[in-house]
Amino acid sequence: MSEQTASITPMPAGSALEPTASAEERWGLFQHPLHSAEDYINSLRGRGLKVYLFGEQVEEPVDHPMIRPSINALAASYQLAEDDPELATAESPYTGTRVNRFLHIPTSPEDLVNKNQMQRRMGQLTGTCFQRCAGLDCISVMHSLTYDIDQAHGTEYHSRFLKLLEGLQRHNLIIAAGMTDPKGDRSKAPHEQADQDMFMRVVDRDEKGLYVSGAKAHMTGGLNSHWVMVMPTMRLSEADRDYAVIGAVPLQTPGLTFIYGRQSCDTRAMEGGEIDQGNARYSGQEVLVVFDRVFIPWEHVFMDGEWEFASVLVERFTDYHRASYVCKTGLGDVMVGAAATIAEYNGVESASHIKDKLVEMVHLNETIFSSGIASSHQAYPLPSGAWINDGMLSNVCKHNVTRFPYEISRLAQDLAGGLMVTLPSEKDFEASNTSELLERFFKGRDDIPTEDRVRILRLIENMTLGRNAVGYLTESLHGAGSPQAQRIQILRNMDVDAKKRHARKLAGIEVIATDADAS
Ligand code: SF4
Ligand code: FE
């Protein structure tokens, strides 16, 4: 047990917190550091969270067949830390030990490069969104943001944050990022909304802490985490001061309601069997999390009214997070592998147009990776000592991600053929009156079992049309900001004037004093 919690009387597992439980009582929920994927899965049991799915309250999310694959994906981050500590852990200056890299604040370009490599590996292992990066990017931002707010306002957010971070690292916990507010009428500022809870806001304060109400939409891994950090979703003005709030709460905090977001073909997980799921083991997760007068003790408040820092927060978060989308190159590796495998099973792998399509897929996938990894190599330090990705290149990375996985998927579907979407069900392959016929007529190459051919087709279906198309395609489009958000950032930073000077100088149009600056 950590020094921080050594003096705390542990609460029985699953016991609810009092609404205004202190910071210490909140840490008391976490009695033992998590050492393994199994520890992690067990740590989610018996939490008594208010979770709704299909209009009903879910008794135990961990055992729900539709939810479990998303938990497995996060568990893989614990497993990878055991299997490849060089890649998936890092030395923490706060604990003096190696900690999961998903909890490590980057303090060099190498840290960010290693993070990207770990993300690609996680994508290869799970074929889905493994849900941990928004939380990592959130704590990375909080390191520098709390430092900068303290410098400007004489607050003590940075030391509070470091305490939280140390606790997360010592206990090996997952923190989710609660960023996206429902936003209501997009033409109106938070304080102008008809429903004041369209953006999360402070509704009350007392000597012990503050109370927030509102909701966070499509929160990645929101239900699979131990803590959630809520923060503003966009730049704010002085009139929005009460919306300028950042704080962290454990998921057991009273006042939280989770409504599970469904995914394409998700009920296949409830049909029994695994082949039709394509990737039965892993999936992503998004939830709507509603906050109803949720209390946050001052020790876990990291912004309260410093509205001018909301835009800094958003910009830094996106600079980190848009490079995190190299995660999709791991999924791209799986897509290329699946497409090459089905070509092989169909006996056409040596056709030149097949090879050319695979080359195109790899080219697109590596183009995504190059922009992301370049943004990490071009990282720069912030005053707190944390390093951050180059913003232009991370925006280019995410913008590539809004397009290339669609083309990669189109090529994978091209190689798969129409059978991918006309295959009978797993049950028909098992049923006595149809199995022989299906085995016979869906055979590809003689030496390949029909079942293997069906399995790989179902995987391509899963990633391009089914459950993990959420993670590979639509999340690629909208996650970390929709395409236009990246174009706005590219427009802001593209410095066309410098480029014009280069062109004019070479064309002999004019010689201007600042030419030297533009070199
Ligand atoms: Fe991580 Fe990618 Fe999922 Fe975002 S979409 S949480 S970057 S795996
Ligand atoms: Fe995401």
Residue 138 lies in a domain: no
Catalytic residue among 327, 397, 461, 464: 327
- At 381, is the secondary structure helix, strand, or coil? strand
Ligand 1: nearest atom to the Cα of 122: 8
202, 211 Cβ separation under 8 angstroms = yes
Choosing from 132, 179, 225, 324 the residue with most ligand 1 atoms within 8 A of its CB, the one to mutate for a pocket test is 324
Catalytic site residue 321?
yes
| Predicted TM-score (pTM) of this structure | 0.94
Catalytic site residue 78?
no
Does ligand 1 have an atom closer than 6 angstroms to the CB of 220? yes
Does ligand 1 have an atom closer than 6 angstroms to the CB of 479? yes
Kindly state the helix (H) or strand (E) to which residue 36 belongs, with its residue range.
none
Per-residue pLDDT of 189-226, as tens digits, reads 999 999 999 999 999 999 999 999 999 999 999 999 99
Ligand 1: nearest atom to the Cα of 475: 5
| Residue 7 reports pLDDT greater than 70 | no
Angle CA(456)–CA(284)–CA(57) in degrees, nearest 5?
120
Does ligand 1 have an atom closer than 6 angstroms to the CB of 324? yes
Residue 58 lies in a domain: no
Percentage of the chain modeled with pLDDT above 70: 95
- CA-nearest residue, atom 4 of ligand 1: 133
Catalytic site residue 138?
no
Q: How many domains does the chain have?
A: 1
What DSSP state is assigned to residue 209?
Answer: E
- Burial (0-12, 13-18, 19+ Cβ within 10 Å), 441: exposed
Does ligand 1 have an atom closer than 6 angstroms to the CB of 327? yes
Distance 325 CA to ligand 1 centre (A): 6
Task: Find the distance separating the first CA and the last CA of the chain, reported in whole Å.
Answer: 56
Confidence of residue 39 (pLDDT cuts 50, 70, 90): very high
Q: Which pLDDT belongs to residue 16?
A: 76
Residue 428 lies in a domain: yes
Ligand 1: nearest atom to the Cα of 324: 7
Residues 6+ apart with CB under 8 A from 256: 49, 50, 249, 289, 290, 291, 292, 294
Residue 360 lies in a domain: yes
Residue 439 lies in a domain: yes
Distance in angstroms (rounded) separating the CA atoms of residues 198 and 312: 21
Distance in angstroms (rounded) separating the CA atoms of residues 274 and 250: 33
| Residue 14 reports pLDDT greater than 90 | no
User: Which structural domain range is residue 475 located in?
Assistant: 317-495
Q: Which pLDDT belongs to residue 511?
A: 63
324, 368 Cβ separation under 8 angstroms = no
Residue 378 lies in a domain: yes
Choosing from 131, 224, 318, 376 the residue with most ligand 1 atoms within 8 A of its CB, the one to mutate for a pocket test is 131
Q: 502 is written with which tokens?
A: 């280069």
Place of tokens 């985490």: 225
Kindly state the helix (H) or strand (E) to which residue 179 belongs, with its residue range.
none
- CA-nearest residue, atom 8 of ligand 1: 129
Residue 426 lies in a domain: yes
Per-residue pLDDT of 317-363, as tens digits, reads 999 999 999 999 999 999 999 999 999 999 999 999 999 999 999 99
Per-residue pLDDT of 277-311, as tens digits, reads 999 999 999 999 999 999 999 999 999 999 999 99
Catalytic residue among 260, 282, 325, 345: 325
Question: Cβ–Cβ contacts within 10 Å for residue 431, how many?
Answer: 13
Q: Which pLDDT belongs to residue 510?
A: 74
Q: What is the 3-state secondary structure (H, E, C) of 227-286?
A: EEEECCCCCCCHHHHHHCEEEEEECCCCCEEEEECCCCCHHHHHCCCCHHHCCCCCCCCE
Closest CA relative to residue 394, chosen from 480, 323, 317, 478: 323
Higher-confidence position of 334 and 6: 334
- CA-nearest residue, atom 3 of ligand 1: 129
Residue 368 lies in a domain: yes
- CA-nearest residue, atom 1 of ligand 1: 133
Q: Which pLDDT belongs to residue 514?
A: 54
Q: Which pLDDT belongs to residue 9?
A: 41
Catalytic residue among 89, 126, 128, 129: 129
DSSP string of 391-453, one letter each residue: HHHHHHHHHHHTTHHHHHHHHHHHHH-GGGGTPPPHHHHHSTTTHHHHHHHT--STTS-HHHH
Question: Cβ–Cβ contacts within 10 Å for residue 25, how many?
Answer: 16
- CATH number for the domain harbouring residue 473: 1.20.140.10
Query: Please, what is the angle between helix 327-345 and helix 352-377, to 10°?
Result: 170
Q: Which pLDDT belongs to residue 52?
A: 98
Distance in angstroms (rounded) separating the CA atoms of residues 259 and 276: 26
Q: Which pLDDT belongs to residue 382?
A: 98
